[in-house]
Structure 1
């Protein structure tokens, strides 16, 4: 592994559904800011990108709660959080947003490339939870219940934030719609599933050995033990195809005929925001964005919280490799949750110390 000529640093995109709290800053932003400033002091070529995550159930739920549109929600909190970062001296090179046209174009390109390759997606009709009172399928944060793995009673339909387990709504014990507060019914719907199982072998080698395509890629001893442990737990249980589309009226439309009313799953679309943010930075600064994403001379580091480990260490790397030509992260420093009075800071649950 040669010394890199340039460094690309990313920090998890905060949802534009509320103000930043101390847990966010301690997890993905202050550590990245220190690391980036250190590299700059050494005279390194470094770009640090971030931005607002503006799609998915977290946004629409907040909009319903406040009685305004999702667009009004994201505009309000994008500007509030961007201003908070600026006041704190967090020194991003670019702070983008996933509602930007360039991001929509980039995310749809990823979907179409993988779709057209063949073998990366399965198209399936299955029964999913549905709230008849609100005429809506219940994906992600629209449904809550007890985690079957750790017993946490406030797990979401896509993951348990307490133990980090990947879930589907059908895994939840005693599921309840967050819209009506009632037990949902089952109804058939069609979705596209990313074949994570196809990528299991190389992902295991990449995580455990630090090798990629038979060559050294990174030193796994430099990764945090809990990151490696959570990844191996997933891999040892066997990866399954994961739905990457949703029945929602807010998000990036699935760019296929017959997919009306379907949008990209927020965790397919959001990490691609690092790429679109780099593209926008390069466009405004007369730089070549591909040098920071596609050159073997670039070191990529993703700063996140521990609830994002699976998406950054398994799902997003698999998407990048399936697309082809992109550099995978050489480290994913994921920090543990910051607790307040025994509970983790949570924007969606209004628990924490806000920073605006």
Structure 2
């Protein structure tokens, strides 16, 4: 059996719930690709995890006066529930605090890398809070990025995605008490990237990086590859399994990169991997993960689908008493179909975009006024004119040949939009909408056939044609809107899913008793 296509998505830190920006980033898009490839018969392994040991979890716990394990577990449960309700189906979600053998596996990897010299000790100036008596790293320290001057935490700037060593931050302050950080010498463990310069440069040159990520990687090479801290003196996280660092914990970014390897398991590595991540998290995927693979003698062909930030500028949408931007609230109000198609349409590629509630409402109107309206008319016509049975007629009607050719061209464009090489889920949504509108127009034009005095069943081929389109959409739209697509397949008494191909453009067998839903097919 061939190895699967390995699809990964960034492990989210469990310091808060998912909001609409997270879904618009890596998760729904990665699920679309996973569903498409599975329908094509390709083996797929779709993995992620939860970054329970991220410093942001500890920072959130300190602010709330709670234990970090309580914060991590509570939000991990909420995040995985949101994925499930939004139709994002992973094969494996690594749970660092629950998965058997994970802690031992990570400790063994860390220890081996240290023994091989991939991880080495360095003494550097590190921020320290004298008021809190705490070394500051990650979310515990805030300041200004020395590379782009944007506000940044320690370790990684989520604006320019370049690493910092905490002590590099301009005007660093303690995130808990706001006191100015004091630089102190601290001996920590690092991954020096410079020894991997040639391997990384070769890897980046062949990986087909998106332009902004390619610019980041080339800048890192030009400026001199940095040493990346992979452990810190801290109270939260997995302990460093190396002598001489008794109160140090493994860094969250290192763990997030390594977590992907644990999620893949012990099977032979795949022929290719496709990583979905936000640009602010791209360093872990494009730099640390390849280095971990190099250390094991593996050069894995990989592809990156990188999104920019989808931001909620109006804080009232998150914190206020009005409409919320949390994933749970939006799924509850709009349903997974509406939310998925919206975040795919609004997916921030190449530039930052902003969440606007009216655009989400417009996505629901499109489903109601176009998709559901057409399907309701179609099922009503079959009920009234054929007693609820699929007609014994071949697809036809005025304009059918033109519509059929248009649909067959459209499904080829749709396959291109779904495929890994030219993945464009926004284009997929636009193509599906165009198909539905064309089918609805066709239905309106041919509805008059039933009222001709000489009709003599001349209206039935047009019903069969529309049922063929509906049956095709149950397969073609499933990567984008699986919940509605499966409801449509059940209404047509056809198996759910199936390849996105011209072969799906067939009506149900004559005499099949249809079982339309009592409410909307897509969304609610």
The answer to whether residue 236 in structure 2 is matched with residue 263 in structure 1 is: no
- Is residue 2:108 matched to residue 1:102? no
Distance 1:60 1:172, change over 3 A: same
Which residue among 90, 99, 121 is the counterpart of 1:123? 121
Give 2:8's aligned residue.
10
Residue 290 of structure 1 corresponds to: 267
What are the superposed Cα offsets for residues 296-318 of structure 1, whole Å, 9 maximum, x if unpaired? x5321111110111221112211
Q: Does 1:60 align with 2:32?
A: no
Greater fraction strand: 1
After superposing on structure 2, the runs of 4+ consecutive aligned residues of structure 1 that deviate more than 3 Å are none
C-alpha separation in 2, matches of 1:175 and 1:346: 28
Question: What is the Cα deviation at residue 250 of structure 1?
Answer: 1.0
Whose radius of gyration is greater, 1 or 2? 2
State the partner residue of 1:175.
172
The answer as to 2:51 corresponding to 1:83 is: no
Could you say what secondary structure the match of 1:187 adopts? strand
String of CA shifts for 1:186-238, please: whole Å, max 9, x gaps.
22322111121100112112112x1xxxxxxx5x2xx3222212221222211
Superposition deviation, residue 244 in structure 1: 0.9
Separation (CA, whole Å) in 2 of partners of 1:203 and 1:313: 9
Deviates more, 1:95-104 or 1:304-313: 95-104
Question: What is the aligned partner in structure 1 of residue 292 from structure 2?
Answer: 319
Q: Which runs of 5+ in 2 are unaligned?
A: 329-524
Report 1:292-307 matches (<5 A). 293=269, 297-307=270-280
CA distance in 2, matches of 1:203, 1:21: 34
Who is 1:194 aligned against? Answer: 191
Could you tell me how far apart the structure 2 residues matched to 1:5 and 1:71 are?
36
CA drift at 1:30: 1.0
TM-score, normalised with respect to structure 1: 0.85
Flag the 1:94–1:346 CA change in 2: closer, same or farther, 3 A: farther
- Where does 1:150-169 land on structure 2 (aligned, <5 Å)? 150-152=148-150, 154-169=151-166
Q: Cα deviations across residues 243-285 of structure 1 (Å, max 9, x unaligned)?
A: 1111111111111223211111111111221222333xxxxxx
Q: Do the aligned residues in 2 keep the contact of 1:158 with 1:169 (CA within 8 Å)?
A: yes
Structure 2 match to 1:39: 37
Question: SS state of the match for residue 271, structure 1?
Answer: helix
Alpha-carbon displacement from aligned partner over 1:19-73 (angstroms, at most 9, x marks no partner): 0011111111111001000110111111101121101210100111121101101
Aligned position for 2:310: 338
Once residues 311 and 52 of structure 1 are traced to their aligned partners in structure 2, the CA distance between those partners, rounded to angstroms, is 14
* Aligned equivalents of 1:301, 1:102: Cα separation in 2: 26
CA-based RMSD = 2.1
Find the partner of 2:216 among 230, 233, 257.
230
Matched residues in 2 for 1:98 and 1:79: separation?
Answer: 13
Greater helix share, 1 or 2?
2
Partner of 1:282: none
CA shift in 2, pair 1:198/1:248, >3 Å:
same
Aligned to 1:133: 131
Tell whether the 8 Å contact from 2:165 to 2:229 is kept in structure 1 after alignment: no
Is the 1:300–1:327 contact (alpha carbons within 8 Å) kept by the matching residues of 2?
Answer: no
Bigger mean CA deviation after superposition, 48-57 or 155-164: 155-164
| Residue in structure 2 matched with residue 328 of structure 1 by the alignment | 300
Structure 1 residue 332 displacement after superposition = 1.6
Partner of 2:433: none
Q: 1:84 to 1:342 in 2, by over 3 A?
A: closer
Structure-2 change in CA distance of 1:243 and 1:341 (3 Å): closer
2:387 aligned residue: none
For residue 215 of structure 1, what is the aligned residue in structure 2?
Answer: none
Deviations 1:97-128 (A, max 9, x none): 122342212211211111112x3232123331
TM-superposed deviation, 1:5: 4.4
Q: Distance in 2 between matches of 1:250 and 1:323?
A: 28
What is the match of residue 273 of structure 1? 259
User: 1-side partners of 2:115 and 2:307: how far apart?
Assistant: 37
Closer/same/farther in 2, CA of residues 82 and 184 from structure 1, 3 Å limit: same
Mapped partners of 1:33, 1:72: distance in 2:
29
User: Which residue number corresponds to residue 113 of structure 1?
Assistant: 112
Shift of 1:342: 8.2
